[in-house]
Each structure stands twice: as C-alpha cells, then as structure tokens.
Amino acid sequence: MSTRGTTIYGVEELAARTNTLAVAKTLTASDSGNVFTLSATTGKAITLPSVAVDGFKAKFLVGAVFATTNFTIVAPTSVIQGGAIVNSVFVPASNENTISFVASAESIGDYINIVSDGTNFYVEGVGALAGSITFTAV
C-alpha cells in the first residue's frame, strides 16, 4: 500500500513575508513580494519605490479599522493604472499617484494588489463599502 501526502510549497515563504504596518513606511525593492497588513488606529502614508523597479509587487490588506485618518499608498509620479471593485462598482485608476483606504469606510479584508512593469504600477483590489478605496492624482 502506498501513502501519498500533499505538500504545499511556498507557505513558509508567505508567512515570512507578511508584515504589519502601524507606522509610515517608504518601500524599497527588497519589500517586493510582501503582504502588508494595515493595522493602526489612524492611517499612515506608505510610499512606493521607483516605478523603475520592474517586477515589484505587494499586497496591502486592511487588518484593523482606523477611525480618523486614511491609509495612503503613494507613487513618486502619476503612474498608477487599473482599478478596484468597490461596493460592487468598478472604480478606475488612470495616471494616478495615490491610493487611499478611506477612514470610516474601510472594512477588515479590503485589499489592493500592486505590480510594476518598470513603467507603471498596475493595481487591482476589492473594497466592501462605497468610498472605501479611492484613486487620485495629488
């Protein structure tokens, strides 16, 4: 009789690359591949690395509600493209530089995935409530 097991590859790597953010942070190329859980009572600013970091990818996930200030993810230039499904409606991002998880509209589990091709940051994500994720060119 033969016994077969199932091995799930990459689980340890994923666990090692999950980080909780409770303070402002400037990301670098070495942060690529991380899942960042946003967990603070007030939002913070997260700055993306240069878009020229081809292949940079990250996921940002709301892990705790924040009451008074948005969590923002900011690109150095207006190169954010794509969008998110927010309250069952597609919210587009075209030549934006700021993604906001909006205080008082966010839900635990809202998320954004980001990947760079060396020219743009492409985003996709989901926000449960209307206005929970916005894209702007500031």
- The domain ranges of the chain are 11-136
- pLDDT tens by residue, 17-46: 889 988 999 999 999 999 999 998 888 999
DSSP 8-state secondary structure symbol assigned to residue 119: S
- What does the block give as tokens for 32? 């690529």
Q: Is 111:126 a contact under the CB 8 Å cutoff?
A: yes
Distance CA 67, CA 42 (A): 6
Residues in the chain, total: 138
May I ask the CATH architecture of the domain 11-136? Sandwich (2.60)
Q: List the beta bridge partners of residue 72.
A: 45, 100
Q: What is the pTM of this model?
A: 0.86
- pLDDT tens by residue, 74-122: 999 999 999 999 999 999 999 999 999 999 899 999 999 999 999 999 9
Sheet holding 133-136, edge to edge: 25-26, 45-47, 71-74, 98-101, 133-136
